[in-house]
Structure 1
Amino acid sequence: MFDYIIKNTSLPEVGVKNTIQLLNDACTIPFISRYRKEATGNLDEVQIGEIVKFKEQFETLEKRKATILKALEEQGVLTPELQQKVESAPDQTILEDLYLPYKKSRKTKADTAREQCLEPLAKIIMSQKTNDLESVAHRYIKGDLNSVDDALEGARHIIAEWINERTDVRNNIRYQLERFATITTKVVKKREAEDEAQKFRDYFDWSESLSHIPSHRLLAILRAENESFIRVKIEIDDDRALDKIFQRIIKSNNACSDQIEIAIKDAYKRLLLPSLSNEALQNAKEKADEAAITVFAKNLKQLLLGSPLGEKRVLAIDPGFRTGCKVVCLDAQGQLKHNETIYPHPPKNDSTGAIKKISTLAEAYKIEAIAIGNGTASRETEALIRRIRFKNDIQVFVVSEAGASIYSASKIARDEFPNYDVTVRGAVSIGRRLQDPLAELVKIDAKSIGIGQYQHDVDQTKLKTQLDTVVESCVNAVGVNLNTASKSLLSYVSGIGPKLAENIVNYRDEHGAFSSRTELKNVPRLGDKAFEQGSAFLRIKDAQNPLDDSAVHPESYHIVKSIAKNEGKRVSELIGNSSILKSIDLKVYCTDSTGLPTLQEIVKELEKPGLDIREQAKVFTFNQNIKTINDVQEGQLLPGIVNNITNFGAFVDIGIKESGLIHISNLSDGFVSDVNAHISLHEQVIVKVLEVDIPRKRIQLKLHK
């Protein structure tokens, strides 16, 4: 395993071996990367994630080898040589090629020919030494075989199967598919005029190199094929591929070589090309999936680490026209204090009553900020709120509603607010997103948040694994308030999981707020391992031990106490005291288990304990004159917020229903290879309008520096 992982990652051997040991000991990636730096050689989360990926690949490969060896043994065909080849196969492709001759799911033409005793004839032909092939073939005419042609045809079926099973032949065609394959599409004529087909019309007659097609385009083409609007075909130069096979196999110029040539063409058209072109397309799809999942993961990380307003009292509004605007008031911890509905927009148009009500609620609940959902009637509601003269300075934010409806109808929302309907829950979610995006968004299936590209078309298992890893990484990077966190948030803390998260909340409800991290050990089923993995990522505000509100691990408290004692200070006096912390000779505190990397992390944390790595939320205002796509004109400079990033560009909310696209070529005057290097999700930007296509509801933008 170690050699396999090192070969694929190029990471140091000691770091890989120690990381594998920690993983086998039920340690999590966040815990290992932060608190086991000496063991791993200071590997970061990404590097440890690569070790996890290739560890799982190796285990899957070994499991498949065991299955194949068992099947070969049961067939009675397992020789020492074959066993050695299977056991030493370095990847899945080579392994499956080895198994191919013995993997028969149905009776083949070659099987029938063998039953007709034609395998000796096939071997004679392959020897290419017989000049009078017709006389030889005549001896095999019997039973169902009525002619020399019948016998030769049967022998060719056997030869075609042998050729199909040759690793060198298969690898040569794989190489040509990898280098030279073209993906072509043709529209399904009977569906060409359908409305649903029009979004795929660019691919009604398309041709492109399979090795160079962008991931988003391949996924779009495959979606169109799955929905039966187009047909997809993978093509290479057949003559060149066949010539390569001829050169490898045909060594004579006689009747035998003529038969082999026919068999090669049959093997190529009937067996090799269909199988290997499907394999090539699947490989391309896997790469496209990886690219799309990577985009989704980057977007999700940026979204989860979005700027929080913090513990402020918030009035949140879920806007609407006919059904009114749902209003809720939340305290600084996000608890619901009041809810009602106002009707400032058509058909009721009670703007006067709405303004009066909002003013009253803002004063009664000492509101510090207002969060307005960015859905239907958002701009109209924002304009209404900005007309109000509040007694105090109240910031107004427009907040993304993406996924709020999913949350409001979920079991999590029903459990939190059993006595309120979905409209109230949705408004609460909007307000809490402003206070702390991470704490609220972890309650929603990431695929429902509306970021990424073609997330429903990629491998769902891989997508979920990657997104769960991102959420876990973000939650643990920020840290969690043990006394206010929801079950959903706690479940992503290193070593905790859903069941322990529920037990923590139940214990908190029964016994009140936690006073120390040590008290976690009283939670049912939370043992030493879970405490080791999770305690340092949990924060307790105003704890008796100030280290309980920091990222310092409890296993290192004694080090901090020793430093404080040696400096003649209490621990509380050490925290935040940069002059003392910077002057400490850390080498004095090094031990066999604790080295400089860990000590440097401890000092860094003591300088700014519990520091939130996220920037604070900033107020943003759209151009108030732009209300619909009809107001957007070429050449305008408009403020916007990036609401999605893909491999081909970034989508920007400019305050109307339709988001504009900054194509990757319009992110910079120079070449752009990575969209994320130039722009971030939820970044506030200024864009220039390049083109407005009102019939297709498309807006082309350029990033304005």
Structure 2
Amino acid sequence: MTLLKYLTKHTQLSEKSIKNTVELLNEDCTVPFISRYRKEKTGNLDEVHIGAIVKFKAEFETIEKRKIAILKAIDEQGVLSDELRSKIQETEDLVSLEDIYLPFKKKRKTKAETARKNGLEPLAKIIMAQNHDEIDYVASQYLNDQVQNEDDALEGARHIIAEWLNERISIRNQIRNQLERSAMLTTKVIGTKKDDEKAQKFRDYFDWSEALKRCPSHRFLAILRAENEGFIRVKIEIDEHYIISKIEDRIIKSNNSCTPHIRLALQDAYKRLLFPSLSNELLKNAKEKADDEAIKVFSTNLKQLLLGAPLGEKRILAIDPGFRTGCKVVCLSAQGALEHNETIYPHAPQNKSAEAIKKISSLCDAYKIEAIAIGNGTASRETERLVKRIHFKNPVEVYVVSEAGASIYSASKIAREEFPNYDVTVRGSVSIGRRLADPLAELVKIDAKSIGVGQYQHDVDQNKLQTSLDAVVESCVNSVGVNINTASVPLLSYVSGIGPKLAENIVAFRNENGPFEDRVTIKKVPRLGGKAFEQGAGFLRIKDGKNPLDDSAVHPESYSVIQKMAKDKNMPISDLIGNKTELHQIDLQKYCTDSIGLPTLKDIMEELEKPGLDRREKAKVFTFDQNIRKIEDLREGQLLPGIVNNITNFGCFVDIGIKESGLIHVSNLSDTFVKDVNAHVSLNQQIIVKILAVDIARKRIQLKLHKN
């Protein structure tokens, strides 16, 4: 099968779109660039479709690579026939490929191999022929120094038959199908671990059983974690008598002295070879599916978090709250530069609240602060209440900001390079303030796995997770666009075609030569060639530059079309931008060329109407119920404001202003069936919840989404 046919089969997209997209990918074009600026070639495919092509292209290449290795291995054994070669080349999946290769795979010393060396393979063939009534007599003819009696001969022959049955593709597929339909996942607690305090969070699985195919991904991953931590044993169970009888019906063709030996060989093959191998394969496949589901959840959450509402360029006072060690306070410029830092001690044990109020008030006046960002960790609510007692001379909005991953950033190489003369506490406070101004620009500096908006992210395939999260970050960064004159190296590194090294070169060039005045100047950055410029230019913005189009998503390759439009209108480009009346009068068909069609022209029109528009919402002030300070204050039936701080397949977690987040189980999101949690809530959404139950001992809060 060719790559094109494989991709067509798995994506259901047109061959032309796939062919052109693959050509672009082979030219090192990125997914954001292809989806945004090559719509005519791809047939207007979006990032999801192109991402699917990337995925299945890699899958196909893995299969082809494995085929080459298998063909080489079998050929070296001198047993590669034309028929076998053709069979291997026509195979479309790795499982079938490995089944074909199984009889030729070099094995460690096995019972079957020992029996072959003892000359018992002809006896095994006679038994499998099933046409002999005196098999004991036949076995007596195969005795030698290694085979002492008929029983030894027949046992050796059965080992060979067991291996043959294990290698028979039809039998393996029959068991596979039965396992997929009927396998039960069962767990038992390890006796010595039953009372272990750490094991209690897994106590639901101390004695558990359910159909594997119905086990949701989050529960399956929880069970595997409990097993990995040594608290439970996990088994796959199935009606083996039913499976064996079905296989017997297929392979036993007579009833003579050979029949009992075939039955014994089948039972041995099933228990020793087939079931262990195929049940492990089943668990491996289930793990991969659960990983994919968990990664999908994490990726969706991460995208929502990265595209969270920015406050914008405001002068911010940020506070990393604490009790004994005090609250770390920093003042940031509208561009996020650190202008001042110090520590205040408003809470126990120092209790210098009056002094802290006076200090915050004076700092807000001195640095013309427009907003205050308070981290949501320890002492957050106490600090928020303190700040809201202050009577500011000028309006100051107060926000509570997620601290997730701030400590990771503050100790990172990136933070040390940004603030070499400040300790981790100052860096952490700066990160909190910058997150309020622009979540995307700040969160790209942190390993996405440390942000904490997924389920079981440390249990899934880490390479697959990293690939998915990198794609999400790249997509978000390029969908918003990047101000090349203010962006950090980490942010620039996610721009299409740029990467870490070119990002460093851009910042170094900017520091040495001053701000970029136009996109053309970007080409002067060392080692930034034509390909990188083509891929990245449309996503890099220049505010207040020489060319107004440089602060838009219009690619420089399309500037000439806009210049022609402006000329036909007899007005400068600057007057055309934002002029909906004139723009709506333009006949786009007139400007279609071989390289620029209606999809691109419509994108250009949309961008000219609102150039540089940030698709994200603006940050909104949120206030928790001031009467709720700890879990003991909660009562069933209360209605409380909250913020969604994590989404999983089984529901969403909500911050209601105390240390413990509450859970809205999927069944409590709606009065109707909920297929997708994200269809009902989104990360950082402000909602009203109803308290259903409170378990103070286990620190668990059950919530219901309250419909306004």
1:479 aligns with 2:446: no
| Separation of aligned partners in 2, 1:664 and 1:584 | 49
Equivalent in 355, 358, 361 of residue 356 of structure 1: 358
Alignment match, 1:24: 26
Equivalent in 361, 376, 379 of residue 378 of structure 2: 376
Secondary structure in 2 matching 1:255? coil
1:599 aligns with 2:595: no
Alignment match, 1:505: 507
Secondary structure in 1 matching 2:258? helix
1:479 shift after superposition: 0.2
1:234 aligns with 2:236: yes
1:116 aligns with 2:118: yes
- Give the 5 Å matches for 1:200-279: 200-279=202-281
Q: Deviations over 1:615-640 (max 9, x none)?
A: 00000000001000000111000000
| Separation of aligned partners in 1, 2:104 and 2:74 | 7
Q: Which amino acid aligns with 1:666?
A: N
1:41 aligns with 2:43: yes
| Separation of aligned partners in 2, 1:248 and 1:494 | 57
1:105 shift after superposition: 3.2
Q: Which amino acid aligns with 1:296?
A: F
| Separation of aligned partners in 1, 2:324 and 2:155 | 76
Equivalent in 92, 95, 106 of residue 94 of structure 2: 92
Alignment match, 1:397: 399
| Separation of aligned partners in 1, 2:251 and 2:552 | 70
| Separation of aligned partners in 2, 1:588 and 1:198 | 70
1:66 aligns with 2:65: no
Secondary structure in 1 matching 2:608? helix
Where in structure 1 are there 5+ consecutive unaligned residues? none
Alignment match, 1:552: 554
| Separation of aligned partners in 2, 1:84 and 1:38 | 38
Alignment match, 1:647: 649
Equivalent in 452, 455, 459 of residue 453 of structure 1: 455
Equivalent in 689, 696, 699 of residue 698 of structure 2: 696
Q: Which amino acid aligns with 2:242?
A: R
- Give the 5 Å matches for 1:64-213: 64-213=66-215
1:236 shift after superposition: 1.2
Alignment match, 1:489: 491
| Separation of aligned partners in 1, 2:354 and 2:144 | 100
Q: Which amino acid aligns with 1:506?
A: A
1:576 shift after superposition: 0.3
Secondary structure in 2 matching 1:196? helix
Alignment match, 1:310: 312
Q: Which moved more, 1:27-36 or 1:237-246?
A: 237-246
1:374 shift after superposition: 0.4
When the two chains are superposed, the root-mean-square deviation of aligned CA atoms in Å is 0.6
Alignment match, 1:569: 571
| Separation of aligned partners in 2, 1:146 and 1:324 | 84
| Separation of aligned partners in 2, 1:94 and 1:248 | 21
Q: Deviations over 1:139-177 (max 9, x none)?
A: 011112111111110000000000000000000000001
Aligned residues: 705
Q: Which amino acid aligns with 1:158?
A: I
Equivalent in 429, 432, 438 of residue 430 of structure 1: 432
Secondary structure in 1 matching 2:468? helix
1:228 shift after superposition: 1.0
Taking structure 1 as the reference length, what is the TM-score of the superposition?
Answer: 1.00
| Separation of aligned partners in 1, 2:89 and 2:507 | 49
Q: Which runs of 4+ in 1 moved over 6 A?
A: none
| Separation of aligned partners in 2, 1:289 and 1:344 | 45
1:104 shift after superposition: 2.6
Q: Deviations over 1:202-229 (max 9, x none)?
A: 0010001110100000000001111111
Equivalent in 672, 686, 689 of residue 688 of structure 2: 686
Where in structure 2 are there 5+ consecutive unaligned residues? none
| Separation of aligned partners in 2, 1:360 and 1:475 | 37
| Separation of aligned partners in 1, 2:224 and 2:105 | 29
| Separation of aligned partners in 1, 2:237 and 2:347 | 58
Alignment match, 1:387: 389
Q: Deviations over 1:514-571 (max 9, x none)?
A: 0011101000000000000001100000011000000000000000000110011110
Alignment match, 1:610: 612
Percent identity for Structure 1 against Structure 2: 71
| Separation of aligned partners in 2, 1:408 and 1:26 | 34
Q: Deviations over 1:234-263 (max 9, x none)?
A: 111101110121011000011111111110
| Separation of aligned partners in 2, 1:277 and 1:591 | 58
1:324 aligns with 2:326: yes
| Separation of aligned partners in 1, 2:254 and 2:581 | 87
| Separation of aligned partners in 2, 1:532 and 1:249 | 63
| Separation of aligned partners in 1, 2:681 and 2:305 | 13
| Separation of aligned partners in 1, 2:150 and 2:346 | 91
Q: Which amino acid aligns with 1:358?
A: I
